[in-house]
Every structure is written in C-alpha cells, then in structure tokens.
Structure 1
Amino acid sequence: MATESSGNLRLSGLTKDFDTFTAVHPMDLVIPQGTFFALLGPSGCGKTTTLRMVAGLEQPSAGQIFIGDTDITDTKAYRRNVNTVFQSYALFPHLNVLDNVAFGLKRRGDKDARSKALEALELVQLTNVAKHRPAQLSGGMQQRVALARALVNRPDVLLLDEPLGALDLKLRRQMQVELKQIQTSVGLTFIHVTHDQEEAMTMADTVAVMNRGRIEQMGAPAELYDLPKTGFVANFLGQSNLGIGPITGRDGDLLVAEIDGSKVSIPASRSTVASGDVMFGVRPEKVRISRDQPQGVGSDLKATVVDVSFSGVATQYLVKTASGSTWSVYEQNLDVDPVDLRPGDEVWLAWDSGHAFGVPATDAPEAASALEEI
C-alpha cells in the first residue's frame, strides 16, 4: 500500500555522491503541489539523479525528501505515492492497452480497476484503442498509454523522465501541449526532466536550470529567458550574444561598459555585476541590423555579415564583430522588400539598452560549455 501523503514536494539538503564525483550537491527545493515543474540541463548535470532519488530508485547520500509533512526519504519506491513515465514507455507487449493501464490497480486488488483505467484512457483520448496491443500504436499513442497508466494511480507526484525524447519533432510539439493540458486538468504535481529548453519553456510553470549538480537559476520560463543571472543560463536557455569588457561608469540607472570597441549600456537592475569586468548579453531577436549606423538608439555595434539563413518566418544573420566574436540576429520577415544583405557586407547592429543584461565575466567558460551542450 502506498504511503498516504499530500502537499508540496520538499527537498532538504538532498545530496548524491558517487565514488569519484558528486552528482547532486546539497539541494534545497520546494515544488508547490499541483504545479508543472521542469528540471532542465545538459547530460550529466544531476537532473535525472535528482528524479531517481524522489522516485526512490536511488538512495540519497544526505538530506531528506518530504511530500507535505511526510518524510519519504527511506520509504521504498513501491510504497511512495509517486509514479514515473519513462522515455522507453515500458509497456507490457503481451497486454492490450486497457490491461496495461489497469495492471497496477489489479495487482493491488482494486475492484474498480477497469472503470478507473477507462477514465484514464478517456483523459488521454485513447478509449478507441483500448483493445489494441502496444505494438499496434504509434509512438505518441504509446506515450499517452504510459501516461494514463501512471495517472490512474492518482500519485501525489508524477515524474517525467525525458518522456518525449523518442518522438519526432512534430509529434513532440503536439505532446507538449497535450501534457500541459492534462496536468492542468488533473491538478497533480508534474516534475519533468529534460535537456530540451523548448519542452521546459512550453510546459512548465517553473523551470530550474541545473549545471554540474547545482541549480543555477530557477523561475518562470519568461523570467529566466528575459533575465538570466549566469552565463550558463544565458546560453542554455535560448541563445545570447555575449561580450566581455570593463564597466567604465554610470549614466543614471544605466551601467556603461566597453564591449568590442563600443560603449554599451546595461540597466543596473539587470546586471549582477556593478563594477570591474562584466559579461554583457542581448538576445538575437532584440537586435536590429542595417547598413547605416542608426540614430537615437540605446546601443550599437559595427560588424561584418558572415552568413544569411532564410527560415520562412525569419532570417538569421551571423555577423562577426571587430573583436572576432560571432553574433546572431533574428529578423522577422515582415517587409515586402527586406534588407538585401550578403556575406562580406559591413553592417550596424542596434538594440534597446533596456533589453541588455550583465552577468559575471568569470562565467565565460560556463557560457561556452552551455553552447556546446545545445
């Protein structure tokens, strides 16, 4: 029988050491009941190990795990009211869809197993294939069966371990929307582990970006994207144009820095650095590109076009600045006669200073590491 517990999931000093390294450094985290939470990060960052400790599949080296006021740290996995949906689906090939979903309930002697399984299949819109075997279903359908099998137990926490990784791009995006709708409908706590930033930002109420066993930054997707606090987050959650240089002064509420031979401004409230060297950043879609130096803009920079890529709704320009760093610019294709730029053209980049951010210059290696992981 599962342990009766409900409430927020709370990790207190949760740690996992292996023989040669620490996979998860002491972690304190509260995930409110009924929210969709994402652990986002590259392979080896500790996100799956954290999930496995919550599931009871990995014993913590230190710390505690609570659901509400109940300490489940030493509770066996099968006694925790926690279920996991894996990337591999893990369906029984010899059972039909309905029996797959009802399997756990039947083993516990639940007399309503069949009706509850049908309700779960209705939730994921698969009642019409209840008598099919898993091999007769598409990958997306199999994933929904696995989800129904987990949901039918009404867990306090549902863990999703890279659940969409085996699906093609179109189906993955469709499932992102469906998963969020299902979570909202059932009101359970979902914890989603992924390395895919789009998945995390599309579905989660809160995203925690992990790096080397620690949470670097946590917040709403829009908040993390608009104002990253570290170089790693700036490049792992989306893409950023970055440059390093000294802060040379202030202009009211703005910090003035020397980046790539140009003076740029950063709102002091959007910088975690107030003096010395700073890593300046601005998102590619916030930058405008033109042949002539614009007038009356917050900041600008001279560069040379390296590559032009047309993607339908937008054109991506890769440009090289005077210092040799490469920047990206995304321009929506709104004009009938767009700017005709080609590799080798000299251009000016301009942006509103209010969109810039500043993080420690010491984050440069971490920012580069994040780019390698994308």
Structure 2
Amino acid sequence: MTTTVPTEPATPARRGGAALEIERVTKQFGDFVAVDDLTLTVPSGAFFALLGPSGCGKTTTLRMVAGLEQPTAGTVSIGGRDVTGTRAHQRPVNTVFQSYALFPHLTVAENVGFGLRRTRTPDVARRVAEGLELVELGHLAQSRPAMLSGGQQQRVALARALVNRPALLLLDEPLGALDLKLRRQMQLELKRIQTEVGLTFVHVTHDQEEAMTMADTVAVMNKGRIEQMGAPAELYEHPRTTFVANFLGRSNLAAGTVVEQLDGGAVLGVDVAGTRVLVPAARAVRTEGEVLVGIRPEKIRLHIDGQEPAATDNVVGPGTVTDVSFTGVSTQYEVLVPGLGTFGVFAQNLTGGATVGLGTQVRLSWSPAFTFGLDGREDRAEGLADLDDEP
C-alpha cells in the first residue's frame, strides 16, 4: 500500500504558482563572484535541477535558498514570501546532503522523528511511520544506521526531511556517495517519492544523467550564471551554447560558414571544410556567418565501402576509425576525419558487438533534422572536462 505524507493547510506554494523565486541574486566572496545576477523561478510541485561543474555557483545558490549564506544583492522568496533576511531555521525548507548525518546511537525511527520531537510536533509516531512507509523502510524502524546500506541510510535521511513537511526540499548532491548501480536505483526512487508527495524538490548535482533522469526542468549553470534552462530533452536536443552542448552529454562540433539559405530560409547550407551540411534554421543560434555545426554521437551512422548513405543525409568523410570501445548497450567509435577532427559515434549493439574495426576507412552520415548550429565565435572546447584542472 502506498502512503503519502499528509500535507498541512494550503500555503501559496502548495496552491500553485512559484515555490521558489530568486530575483537578481549575486553572491561575492571578496573579489570572487560565485553567483552573478541570477534570476529563476521554480514552480510549485516541480522537480528542479541545478546542474553544473564544480565551482559554477550551484551549491552557493542552494545555500542561499536554505539560509546558510546571505546574498550580496537580490532577493529569495519561498511560497511568495521574501525570506532573504531570515535565518535557516525560520524558513520552510529542509536539506538532504551527500553525507546522511544520521545519529548512530538512535534507531531509524528516532532519527526520522528527531526534528519533530524538537519542535514538539503532535502525533510524532504516526508521522514517522508514514514517512518510513513512503521510503519503504517501515520494517527497519528499530534498526541502527550502522546496520543499513548506503541507499537505505539515504532514504532515512530523505524521510527525516519529508516528515517536517517543508514547502521546499533541497537536495545537495544526495547520491554522490553511492555506487553507480545503487545511484541509478535511487534516482528512480527519488522521482517516485517526489511524484507521490507532490513537494517541490530543488536538486543540485554535477551528474548530467542524474539531472536528466529525475528533473522536470534543468538549469545548466556556468560561472555563476544560467547558460540554458528547460526540459531535459530540450536541452539535450537543442543546446544553445557550446558549454551546454559539451557538458550535457557529448557533441561533435565542426566549424563552418553559412553559404546559402534554402526553402525560404528554413534550412541553412553550411560549408564545413569543403563539404555542404544542411542545418534547420530553427535549430540554429546563428543563421549567417561563422557557425559551429553540431551532431550528437548516437545520431551518426558509419558506412564502410559498399554502403551508401541516404541521398538526403549530411555526409562527411572518409575518415579513419582510431578507437573502438564496447560499453554493453553500445559501441563507441572515434573517427578521425581530415580537416574536421575526431568525431564520436555511438552505435547500438543490435548484433552483439563492434562491427567496424580499428583502422577502417568509413564515411559518416546523419539526418539534417538532428543537426544543430551554434555561434561560431564561441570556444568549441567550452564545457569539456579539463583533466589539468581535476584534483
């Protein structure tokens, strides 16, 4: 049987509208600007993700919402109420951190009910039981945290936050300490719980898959600002900057010049190292001059000698296969195309493994409908991992 945590009488956040509004918020630490004139609105009941690399300002933003940091400028409102100057304990917010922060000497039930008892909330036992049932841990109510797995401990921490019935639940890299398989299971579990309770979740993460799996809306942050915000599929299929194209998955980007406009301007003809590539104008940030032509690796098909691409496809090559990596569901190829650089190609393993070997000469093709165009004045490497910057 499924149980949802009962809600309190409706507040502005629960009736609809905005659960969180950040208006022109800036946060400086000395001369360093961690968050730069940030404005965003999170609707009530949404699962919202702030996604970005370390140092982009996402955790600082979360801490300002929680009341753990004060903005240098701007306002933070929760449920229609300005909370900028209020302390953390005065805000209708709970936070779940990567470290579970459970009390080892207390039982699971005592951990979940700790905050309720401190505030002398009535009917603690019932609310604790409902919270544990929601995270499917009622059978472990009398266990100690040391007896639980990492995933179970994280669910206890989540139940402890939910029983306080916050208007806003903040998740700060909550799955970072879990192994890959458990992390993927918990992604689905968190989404299930959020859907059941109907609370507004704001989730901070650097993990692209995590954000795309769980969130309704993702805001990609870079250098204290939001580069692009929207539904996960929209950001992935229609990136508007090189940072988003490279950070959210992988993109193949090739420099080109718009040389013609076809179908009344609906399609751009772009010269890419002597090859004409078609780009839908609706998927292009810029429709004249220098552009970066982009295509996701899974949209590309490999063609060896004797295999002809469709007449309507974009085609580049020939190139040489320089790397082959079997990943289970797909095989990842690296193809060096003279004049264009290296293209990544992800081929689904429909026949049991790699079908093209190292050193093979291939051509690459894809449908123009999947092509996107970015501003050619941007750095093509923006958003790629810099191994020299890794700790």
TM-score (norm 2): 0.91
Deviations 1:303-358 (A, max 9, x none): 1110112223221111011125111111112247x774222221100000010001
Cα displacement (A) at 1:189: 0.2
What residue number does 2:122 align with?
Answer: 111
Structure 2: distance between partners of 1:369 and 1:209: 11
What residue number does 2:201 align with?
Answer: 190
CA contact (8 A) 1:297 1:351 kept: no
Paired residue type of 1:372: D
Deviations 1:238-258 (A, max 9, x none): 111111121111122211112
Q: Could you tell me the percent identity over the aligned residues?
A: 57
Change (3 A) 1:297 1:333: farther
Aligned mate of 2:146, from 135, 139, 145: 135
Say which SS state the counterpart of residue 363 (structure 1) adopts.
coil
2:339 aligned with 1:326, yes or no?
no
Structure 1: distance between partners of 2:355 and 2:373: 32
Deviations 1:162-190 (A, max 9, x none): 00000000100000000000000000000
Say which SS state the counterpart of residue 180 (structure 1) adopts.
helix
Q: How does 1:1-374 map to 2 (within 5 A)?
A: 6-7=12-13, 8=18, 9-252=20-263, 253-292=266-305, 293-302=308-317, 303-323=319-339, 325-335=341-351, 340-364=355-379, 367-372=381-386
Structure 2: distance between partners of 1:279 and 1:324: 11
Q: CA-atom RMSD, angstroms?
A: 1.7
My pick for the range that moved more, 15-24 or 192-201, is: 15-24
Deviations 1:254-308 (A, max 9, x none): 1111223321110011001111110110000100001145241321000111011
Following TM superposition, the consecutive aligned residue runs of length 4 or more in structure 1 with deviations greater than 4 angstroms are none
Deviations 1:169-212 (A, max 9, x none): 01000000000000000000000000000000000000000000
Cα displacement (A) at 1:69: 2.2
Structure 2: distance between partners of 1:359 and 1:324: 16
Structure 1: distance between partners of 2:42 and 2:328: 39
Say which SS state the counterpart of residue 377 (structure 2) adopts.
helix
Structure 2: distance between partners of 1:313 and 1:260: 33
Say which SS state the counterpart of residue 90 (structure 1) adopts.
coil
CA contact (8 A) 1:11 1:29 kept: yes
Aligned length: 370
Structure 2: distance between partners of 1:344 and 1:267: 33
CA contact (8 A) 2:331 2:354 kept: no
What residue number does 2:6 align with?
Answer: none
Structure 2: distance between partners of 1:369 and 1:331: 24
